[in-house]
Amino acid sequence: MTMGPRDAALEALCALEGPLARLEGGARDLLGWAALPDERDRALAVQLVQGVMRWRATLDWIIARKLRFPFSKLEPRVLDILRLAVFQITRMDRIPQSAAVNEAVKQARACARPHVAAFVNGLLRAVCREGEPLPFPDRKRDLRRHLAVVHAYPEWLVDRWLKEWGMPAAEELMAAGNRIPDLTIRVNRMRIGRSALIRALAEEGVAAERTAYAPEGLVIRGVKGGVERLKAFREGCFQVQGEGAQVFSHLLGPQPGERVLDLCAGLGGKSTHLAELIEGRGFILAVDLQPRRLRGLGEAARRLGLGGCIHCAAADALHGAANAFRGGFDRILVDAPCSGLGVLSGHPDIKWRRRPEDIARLAGLQLGILEGAARMLKENGALFYGTCTLIREENEGVVEAFLAAHPDMAQEDLRVQAPPWARPLIDARGFLQILPHVHGLDGFFGALLRRQGGREGAGAPGHPLRDEHGSESIRK
């Protein structure tokens, strides 16, 4: 069933209610081709949903000031109707305010109660009359509340970043997290060079420029209807992948002929990158808990022509992988599940799904995964631990706890190990530390760890892989 872009956006926002909902789930389906076949409608709906999630606290502040009853009394659907309209009124210059109000009133009428439509109409017209500048909370009297409203962040996260980063870095970090991100791809150098791909994309009407750091990265603009429509994509010339994520594989540094484990593989952006770096010569095991993701990984690997060395297996990185897979690995990549608070520019819904108590829980999960990974690492093997968060408890804290419990493991100084192009991304302690407000990228953390001696991985010689869950080559 098709619908208008504002109605699709409203349904997607309603689907996002609750801490477990996310844009990658059912809400994304409501913004897809089936619901919105027109490209312009789909683009508007996505912009509306992303915008409301990005500026939710600011929108709620504006709405609350116009209420004659407690904000908590607003019904969730009515609140989302108001958020959509206020976002258009205050942050979308190309949409007439009258159009935003009228469409919101139509949505309110669908609630089947006349007084709801009248309420929505009155409140939104009051917002239109007020105009700019808005009287936000006083900065000097309550800095935390001011930052939470002006930059649209939950107060607990504002408080945490003020303590960990201080001013003005915390505010700069919040502002950077609200920027609309570029679309970045990774050139498949097994098929094409970066300059050649720039020319090929130009022939398809897509502008591309080199990324600031990653040597295979391109920022692309002018894509209409999704990258999967591009001939260069179908021919396996590139993979969509953020620049910061591309750095992980380079810092792990796999070599042709090595056995490499991607323990939290997801859809395979890093697995396929690792395969490119070893030139298709070696063994890469991609592990993920969800078979659906592994199927997507397999499709990407075949499209890129990299399936020959990538093998997939569904397993639990925390509880089952270390026991299921026999034979040590030369290099292991742990792109750990984390709070995701470094990638808010592209995933603004994360701000509202996370809770303070999630941090300690995730840090415990990350430490458990790291300990399991270490049991599969060969003597003198390298392990890269990375996250896409800026919370130190999940980053340096996990690494420090792990090293304290594993005297046979040591941190490598990335100031020495990293290629020259990556060294501006390395901090004074030898960690990868990509900061959105400093480097203009999503936020990432990483540490390179090495087994210094003692036992090798748990496997026996002569058995390159034993998998209780069943491993399959992408070629099959």
Residues in Cβ contact with 431 at an 8 Å cutoff, skipping those fewer than 6 apart: 395, 396, 399, 414, 445, 446, 447
Q: Is 388 a catalytic residue?
A: yes
Active-site residue (options: 264, 312, 338, 388): 388
CB-CB contact of 184 with 242 (8 Å): yes
Distance CA 151, CA 173 (A): 10
Distance CA 371, CA 244 (A): 24
Cα 80–83–89 angle (5° rounding)? 145
Distance CA 231, CA 234 (A): 5
Active-site residues, by number, are: 388
